[in-house]
Amino acid sequence: MTFISPSAVTVKWGETFNLAWTLTDEAGNPVDVTGATATSAIASADGTFVAPITATISPPNQVALTSLTTAWPIGTFDCDVRILLAGTVFLTDTTVVTVEKPVTTQ
C-alpha cells in the first residue's frame, strides 16, 4: 500500500516547516494508523541527506511534519514519510519541497 501525500509545498528559508494531512490509500480512503510510528527527512534529488524532519502520527489517520528550516539550503528537495505499522514498513508518496530565499530577514 502506498500512502498518498501532498505533491508539492513551498517554504521560505528560516520559517518553521509545518505540513499535516490525512493519510489515505490510492483510492482516497482514510487509513487507520493507530499505533504506528513515523520518521521523515528531506533530501536532494540524488538522495543526499539534508535534514531530519519530525514526523508525528495522530490517530486514527493524521500525520504532521515539522522542522526548522534555518539549516536547509535554498533549492528543491524531496521528502517522504516512513510509517512503521504492526511490523510492516510503508512509505508515502514523495513530496517536492521548494525552499525559497526570504525577502524580509529582519
**In this structure, which CATH number among 1.10.20.10, 2.60.40.10, 1.20.20.10, 3.40.50.300 belongs to the domain 8-100?**
2.60.40.10
pLDDT at residue 80 is higher than 70:
yes
The answer to whether 38 and 66 have CB atoms below 8 angstroms apart is no
Could you tell me the pLDDT band of residue 6, with boundaries at 50, 70 and 90?
Answer: confident
The pLDDT value given to residue 9: 95
The pLDDT value given to residue 44: 96
The pLDDT value given to residue 1: 62
Spans of all domains in the chain: 8-100
Question: For residues 55-84, b (16+ Cβ closer than 10 Å) or e, as one string?
Answer: bebeeebebbbebebeebeeeebbbbbebe
Give per-residue pLDDT as tens, 7-64. 999 999 999 999 999 998 889 899 999 999 999 999 999 999 999 999 999 999 999 9
Q: What is the pTM of this model?
A: 0.90
| Residue 37 burial (CB count, 10 A) | 12
**CA-based end-to-end distance of the chain:** 45
Per-chain mean pLDDT for the chain:
93
